[in-house]
Structure 1
Amino acid sequence: MTIFPHDEFAKSFLENLLSPFGKVEPSYKIAAEVREVDVYFIPLVTTLDCTDLGLLAQCVTSLVVFEPFRNSVSVPDIRACMSKLYDLHAKIYREEKRKKQPEPKDDELPMLWILTPTLSDNILISLGANLDAERGEGVYFCYHRHRRRELL
């Protein structure tokens, strides 16, 4: 039972509206599991010359999560990476709220880099991935998908 009347109303309304068409489970519990991102990078405040890192130097200018794969990633692998990223974003929001700090802006949240030796064209298309012309072949962005909000 929620303490917010609007939430309770919305759940009840949707349950009554949708129950003739299928099974409706309001307040459906999801068992939380401890999950880890592979690498969480927080850059130093002082800027060091890391040009020797090549392309990697361009990736580590802000908070970043790296998820490296030995083989080509699948769609479920990508979803798992995104889920971990969103869990990390939620953790950052909670920490800032607990410290009574302003909500972080999108560009202050970690960005996800999935490192994979190859990826099918079908997956690239399904993700809406675009080749990053500045960084060269093999680097694709789905930036708008990472931080887009879906609202109805």
Structure 2
Amino acid sequence: MEINWDLLIKVLAVLPVLIPLILAAIREDPEDQKIERDVDLIAKLPDSAARAALLKRLDTRIREQDSAPARSRNIPSLAGAILGTLGLTWAAAALLSIGAWWAYLAIAPVVILLSVLVYGIFESSQKVPRDEKGKRLVT
């Protein structure tokens, strides 16, 4: 069985980009999940002090969520990280295909940059409160 290295390299180049994007896109907002869970619990509880306390907590949570900054992704940084990852993966494959001794040394900084860019993909694709410049707000 012969391995098609060209196809394998192309698939491996795309995986670090696609996996975080797919995971970020399908993940639901945890705050919305908490609110839905509390609403279901309130519907099941009889009129009591616990139900009133839960209603108050739910009301407070919804007010805080409405007053909080909008949650978004940093699309320009995400696009740059994706393009950089694809380009550096191609550069790494090109260096490895040369086969010279110095190409293996030259790939070390490429791998370090790739790890930073993959981190940037994760960071930029998360839907969190951000300022006007796209930087994550620390709460």
TM over 0.5: no
Q: Which interval holds the TM-score relative to the shorter structure? A: under 0.3
More strand by share: 1
The alignment's TM-score, normalised by the length of structure 2, stands at: 0.25
The alignment's TM-score, normalised by the length of structure 1, stands at: 0.24
Structure of larger gyration radius: 2
More helix by share: 2
